[in-house]
Structure 1
Amino acid sequence: MRQLIEKQHNILEVSGLQVKAKTSIGTIPLVQDIQFELKPGHVLGLVGESGSGKTITSLSLLQLLDRKITSIEGSIRLHGRELNGLSAKEMRRIRGKEIALIMQNPMNAFTPVYTIGNQFIETIRTHTNLTKKEAFELAVDSLHNVNLPNPSDIMRKYPFQLSGGMLQRVMIAISLCLRPAVIIADEPTTALDVTNQLQVLRQLDWIRSEYGTAILLISHDLGVISELADDVIVMQNGRIVEKADVYQLFDHPQHEYTKKLLHARPSLQFNKENSRIGEP
């Protein structure tokens, strides 16, 4: 499958992307000269410390930054169509249907006073001509596909009645149901325990394998990146400092900042002298 994917055209092409914040003393660069591309079924990891520009980059791709206080320059092409500069109405047609976002905090993704079903169905009907009944059936099927038990019952629940892991999978189900070409997963496992992290990673891997969805995986967790990504971009101070195949980057990092990130990973120190439980 990998050889087939390599021959296919790019779904998403980003070049010369620059985002600047407008202030009373002038403009301040937030990200500069960002360039990458995504092919079908490909997972691109985006790593860097907090404030390096990862989330700003993802929001600019979705055209979700406030244009009153920010400016976006450069090219963002989805299936060859330029997204930068499209009207809000045009972008609403594209978001969710062609390019979807999985947020890092699932509790912030849902309106607390509406049921999961209400919000799920509204999302589907915004982008399709399905009836309410057809949208309900599609939503239930999508929840089943992400291994959530009793999907019909979940549709009647409110967000606070579900755990963080369940809400994260609901978000994935919503992202998946319209078969978007690209999914941007912004820290999708940050708020989850280890068991739910594994479930979410397996689900993302299944999505890219089953449907050929391209995934931009944003994370500061290098373990998550090493598990899922094909290639990795390292960002520092709003710039790309290194881009490499995931094996190359972890085994032979070139940039000093990348080396520092890798060395900062927590490790378990094993002392042979005290290796037996209960031994002093």
Structure 2
Amino acid sequence: MLETEESTVLQVRDLHVQIKNKNGITPLVQGINLELKRGKILGLVGESGCGKTLTSMSILQLLNLKTTMIEGSIALKGRELNGLAEKEMRKIRGKDIAFIMQNPMNAFTPVFTIGHQFIETIRSHTQWNKKQATELAIEAMHHVNLPNPAKLLKYYPFQLSGGMLQRVMIAIAASLHPAIIIADEPTTALDVNNQKKVLRHLDKIRSEYGSSILLISHDLGVIAEMADEVAVMQHGRIVEKADVFQLFDHPQHDYTKKLLNARSMLHLDEPIIDLV
């Protein structure tokens, strides 16, 4: 099938991120080129500190512009995001681009209930009233197999386990059917059983809503199970990009070969022990 312009949801071109400090300017991310196709999962892999999260923060326009400079193009469905006013970016974050962060506890404000935070997120991007937003929140939580969502909405973040909080975060991310979900190490804080649950939910969202996923991980087992294409990062640069099968079967770059030799595998076809 010939690729059309419409099938490319996100296009990152020649992205450079530099930090300004007392010694001058230090490059952190250099010459990044990425494309995210509709309904596909792009895995971004590399060791901690290689620039994966910085790349995602650049796409979300969440870096502090007083200390960092972002150069290059970040186009969402043809609309340039780099340099967009914060007011406009707030409309896009959560609705068109959802973000699932590494530590679910950091994603929630401890003094507000899960329901308050979920419902306010929905209402900030829609014209819906509280009752409609609550119904959507409950439906989204059902979708990720959370038990008794109406009751969970009354809980505070500390009352839920890490695995449950991560699923709530995925439910929030998926509730408005975003074009893109950026998942930054979404399984790192979880045990193997909850890792599998979270990855299956992400895959379900991708297949049902056509959301594209930028899956950031240092875990090649996760990437092997989930990604369609893979980009390998080292020292702020992408050193190799390939179809997932090609990358795992015929890696070209020495760094990719080293990563593959050190990997552990996570098998999603193994049964899940369903402890809520």
TM-score by length of 1: 0.92
Matched, 1:255 2:238: no
Matched, 1:226 2:224: yes
CA distance in 2, matches of 1:69, 1:88: 16
Aligned partner of 1:166 in structure 2 is: 164
Question: How far did 1:266 drift?
Answer: 4.5
Q: Which runs of 4+ in 1 moved over 2 A?
A: 6-9
Secondary structure, counterpart of 1:50 in structure 2: coil
Q: Structure 2: which 5+ residue stretches go unaligned? A: 266-276
C-alpha contact 2:12 2:33 (8 A) present in aligned 1: yes
CA distance in 2, matches of 1:87, 1:241: 32
Question: How far did 1:168 drift?
Answer: 0.4
Secondary structure, counterpart of 1:210 in structure 2: helix
User: For residues 51-90 of structure 1, what are the structure 2 equivalents within 5 Å?
Assistant: 51-90=49-88
Secondary structure, counterpart of 2:66 in structure 1: coil
Q: 1:176 to 1:65 in 2, by over 3 A?
A: same
Secondary structure, counterpart of 2:111 in structure 1: coil
CA distance in 2, matches of 1:266, 1:165: 21
CA distance in 2, matches of 1:9, 1:215: 13
Aligned partner of 1:112 in structure 2 is: 110
Question: How far did 1:15 drift?
Answer: 0.3
Aligned partner of 1:275 in structure 2 is: none
Aligned partner of 1:39 in structure 2 is: 37
User: For residues 20-35 of structure 1, what are the structure 2 equivalents within 5 Å?
Assistant: 20-35=18-33
User: For residues 146-161 of structure 1, what are the structure 2 equivalents within 5 Å?
Assistant: 146-161=144-159
Q: Structure 1: which 5+ residue stretches go unaligned? A: 268-280
Question: How far did 1:25 drift?
Answer: 1.2
User: For residues 163-242 of structure 1, what are the structure 2 equivalents within 5 Å?
Assistant: 163-242=161-240
CA offset digits 1:33-71 (Å, max 9, x no partner) = 000111111000000001100000000000000000000
2:132 maps to amino acid: E
CA distance in 2, matches of 1:51, 1:219: 12
CA distance in 2, matches of 1:257, 1:245: 17
Secondary structure, counterpart of 1:201 in structure 2: helix
C-alpha contact 2:19 2:27 (8 A) present in aligned 1: yes
Secondary structure, counterpart of 1:56 in structure 2: helix
Secondary structure, counterpart of 2:8 in structure 1: coil
TM-score by length of 2: 0.94
CA distance in 2, matches of 1:50, 1:199: 24
Across the aligned residues of Structure 1 and Structure 2, the Cα RMSD in angstroms comes to 1.1
Aligned partner of 1:274 in structure 2 is: none
2:134 maps to amino acid: F
CA distance in 2, matches of 1:184, 1:163: 22
C-alpha contact 2:221 2:264 (8 A) present in aligned 1: no
Q: Highest CA radius of gyration, 1 or 2?
A: 1
2:67 maps to amino acid: I
CA distance in 1, matches of 2:101, 2:119: 19
Q: How many residues align?
A: 264
Question: How far did 1:263 drift?
Answer: 1.1
Question: How far did 1:143 drift?
Answer: 0.5
Question: How far did 1:199 drift?
Answer: 0.5
Secondary structure, counterpart of 2:7 in structure 1: coil
Residue 46 of structure 2, aligned match among 45, 48, 65: 48
CA offset digits 1:200-252 (Å, max 9, x no partner) = 11111111111110000000010000000000000000000000111111111
Question: How far did 1:265 drift?
Answer: 2.0
2:244 maps to amino acid: V
